[in-house]
Amino acid sequence: MSEQQEHTQQWEYFVTPLILHNEGAILNKHAQQGWELVQVVEGPAGGPVAYLKRKV
């Protein structure tokens, strides 16, 4: 693998609302599928929204 290829990573992204009182279970389910949490922000409707990524 060349040095350029080693530094180039391909990601796919996933955005999902987090149901209050069940956030941990939702994030753990996605983590088991290879998703990594990037951030949680307040969504347009006021609830938390999680942004996740994983290598392609």
User: Tens of pLDDT along 6-52?
Assistant: 678 999 999 999 988 999 999 999 999 999 999 999 999 899 999 99
The phi, psi pair for 37, rounded to 5°, reads -70, 130
Q: For residues 24-40, b (16+ Cβ closer than 10 Å) or e, as one string?
A: eeebeebeeeebeeeee
Secondary structure (3-state) at 39: strand
pLDDT band at 2 (very low <50, low <70, confident <90, very high): low
| pTM of the shown model | 0.79
Coil, helix or strand at residue 31: helix
Provide the sign of the torsion angle of the four alpha carbons 23, 28, 33, 36, taken in this order.
positive
pLDDT band at 4 (very low <50, low <70, confident <90, very high): low
User: What does the pLDDT read at residue 7?
Assistant: 76
